[in-house]
Amino acid sequence: MPASRRSAIIVATDSQAGQQLLYEVKRLLTRAGFSYEILVRPTQAQVAMATVKYDAVILDATIELPEGSNYAAFTAQPTAMDHILVVSRTPLPLNFYGFRGGGAPIYPNEQNNESILRWLEGQLEQLKTRPTRPTLEKNLLGSVITMMRAMTQVREAPIQGAFVSYTREALPQAHELTRRLQSGDPKLRTGGPIPVTLLESGELALEDELLTMQMRWHLVGLIEKRIKDCSEFWICDSKHYYTSWWTQIELTLLGYHGSGKQDHMPIWRYKPSVQRVDQPTDLVPTISHDQKRRLDRILSYTGQSMRAETIQRTREIGSLHLLERSKFWNDEVFSLGFANDYLLEIAPWVGQKSGESITGQDVEMLMRGDRSKFVAVPLRVIQDALSNHVADFNGYQIRNEPRPRYLWYATRMGKHTAPPGSLDQSLAPLPVFRASTNRT
């Protein structure tokens, strides 16, 4: 085999659609000049070794019933290694994604194999000309060390990328901004093209989806990681940008990482209505020591794999009596309501005015939740109401989305960490409740 020929491995599923995709991917790899190998029903060790042995690793992360999935063999490496291509016909778990986005559909949608193949073709062309995998050392211990070193190199590499922050009303304008940044439009910034991270509408939560406060913060932890992976923060300005809980949290995260010293990443604001860019200097709050400690505590329950098993640990602490719980932390984070009560947003978040910074009081309200804006609805109340076909709360109609979301629990030291009843002992289903109203 010529020394310059690239190698690939396909981690396939054994469903009919998975085998059809495998057949087409083999043809695609042959046309692209890659040699390839195949893994079906792999072990975690096999997948981990493959990430440092092949120039391209194609993971079929589809969740199919009753066939199952490959998630028991996955690790968090796809979130940090550029040559691992995650594809799926179904939405990915909330806390599992590829470093290269675009290979899986946004919840609750599905995609077919043809869409996957179109995406793969472009990614393989890039990896063929610019391989990014680490160099493999031949012995077993050496390859493990290489794998760990590769992850460290990814974390310590110079960061370059733009995170685009927006509200749903400005999604078309955010897409336009993304295209212009990726193409290096000199009217926006100097320095040429730049990679862009834009979380699509619905990728982490639907606009009308009910979330517990715990799940809100788990999603914030995922957003935090995406922001930290970038070097610039771009605001796509809109009417409601400054009254959204989510966008205000994103700005608060910048202050959190700057530790109140205003040494956060540069912020640019794109105003679509006038096609103008400015660089605001007073939008990021100064975070107090106590606020930083509380954010530390909250965000410690997220991470590269979102540490899903800590959700159960938090609930166990919350179920203790007050005196017993005080041995841990006497904090709302460990209350049962934090984990189990779904928040029905009955009024828009009233945050900063356009151009004004977030105050310390605003940060407190963001962290603890303004109870005048939410109605807490316990899970059991929702379930009882839905079973009786009466799901009306404060003029809102609650309905259950047929497709659940999933939370991925990594296998650790050969042991499954997912709660009983999880799919493939690694995927815990999460009910999705949505709220609608006829109010104007």
How does residue 348 score in pLDDT terms, banded at 50, 70 and 90? low
- CA distance linking residue 354 with residue 242, whole number of Å: 6
Confidence of residue 414 (pLDDT cuts 50, 70, 90): confident
Q: Check if the beta carbon of residue 233 is closer than 8 Å to that of residue 246.
A: no
pLDDT tens readout for residues 227-249:
988 999 999 999 889 888 899 99
Q: What is the pLDDT of residue 415?
A: 87
Is the model more confident about 99 or about 354?
Answer: 99
pLDDT at 297: 75
The residue type found at 424 is: D
CA 313 to chain centre: 21
Q: 81: helix, coil or strand? A: coil
The helix or strand, by DSSP H or E, that contains position 426, with its residue range, turns out to be none
pLDDT for residue 408: 92
Calculate mean pLDDT across residues 329-353.
70
Confidence band, pLDDT 50/70/90 cuts, at residue 426: very high
307-333: average pLDDT: 52
Kind of pairing between the strands at 427-430 and 341-345: unpaired
For residue 183, what are its two tokens?
């193409």
How much is the pLDDT for 265? 86
Q: What six digits make up the tokens of 192?
A: 């040429």
Q: Which of 292, 310, 270, 280 is nearest to 412 (CA)?
A: 310
Say how far residue 70 (Cα) sits from the centre of its chain. 19
| Token representation of residue 218 | 């788990």
The mean pLDDT of 142-151, rounded to a whole number, is: 57
pLDDT band with cut points at 50, 70 and 90 for residue 305: very low
Cis ω for the linkage preceding 134 (within 30 of 0)? no
Cβ contact 9:57 at 8 Å: yes
Q: In the chain, pLDDT over 90 holds for what percent of residues?
A: 44
| Alpha-carbon separation of residue 296 from 53, 251, 286, 288, 293 (angstroms) | 37, 16, 15, 12, 5
Radius of gyration of the chain (CA): 23
Choose the weakest-confidence range: 6-10, 254-258, 301-305, 403-407.
Answer: 301-305
Out of 42-46, 103-107, 380-384, least confident range: 380-384
Q: List beta partners, residue 68.
A: 64
SS3 397: strand
Contacts of residue 84, defined as CB under 8 A and 6 or more positions apart, other chains included, come to: 51, 57, 59, 77, 78, 98, 99, 100
DSSP class of residue 165 equals: E
| Nearest one of 218, 216, 214, 210 to 386, comparing CA atoms | 210
What is the C-alpha separation between 335 and 319, in angstroms, rounded?
Answer: 7
Query: Is 126 in a helix, a strand, or coil?
Result: helix
85 or 374, higher pLDDT:
85
Report whether pLDDT(219) > 50.
Answer: yes
Higher pLDDT, 367 or 42: 42
Tell the residue number behind the tokens 């690793």, with chain if given.
57
- Classify each residue of 379-403 as buried b or exposed e, where b means 16 or more C-beta atoms within 10 Å of its C-beta: eeebeeeeeeeebebeebebeeeee
For 160-213, how does the pLDDT look when each residue is reduced to its tens digit (9 = 90+)?
799 999 999 999 999 999 999 999 999 999 889 998 999 998 899 998 999 988
Of 223, 268, 229, the C-alpha closest to 245 is 223
pLDDT at 323 over 70: no
- Secondary structure class of 101 (helix, strand, coil): coil
Please tell me the predicted confidence (pLDDT) of residue 138: 43
Q: Is the pLDDT of residue 357 over 90?
A: no
Which of 84-88, 137-141, 161-165, 270-274 is predicted with the least confidence, judged by mean pLDDT? 137-141
Burial class (CB in 10 A: 0-12, 13-18, 19+), 79: buried
Say yes or no to pLDDT of 302 above 90.
Answer: no
Q: 438 by DSSP, 3-state: which?
A: coil
**Mean pLDDT, residues 21-48:** 96
Q: What percent of the chain has pLDDT over 70?
A: 78
Q: Looking at residue 388, what is its pLDDT? A: 76
**Comparison of pLDDT for 297 and 327, the residue scoring more:** 297
Mean pLDDT of the chain: 83
Kindly indicate the confidence band of residue 330, based on its pLDDT and cuts at 50, 70 and 90. low
Give the DSSP letter of residue 201: T
What count of residues does the chain have? 440
Q: Which amino acid is at 31?
A: R
- Rounded to an integer, the average pLDDT of 368-389 is 80
Q: How far apart are CA 77 and CA 90, in angstroms?
A: 20
* Complete domains list, the chain, with CATH: 6-156 (3.40.50), 162-368 (no CATH)
Q: Which span out of 59-68, 313-322, 431-440 was modeled with the highest average pLDDT?
A: 59-68
Better-scored residue on pLDDT, 160 or 369: 160
The whole-number pLDDT of residue 355 equals 53
Handedness of CA 409, 52, 68, 198 (dihedral sign): positive
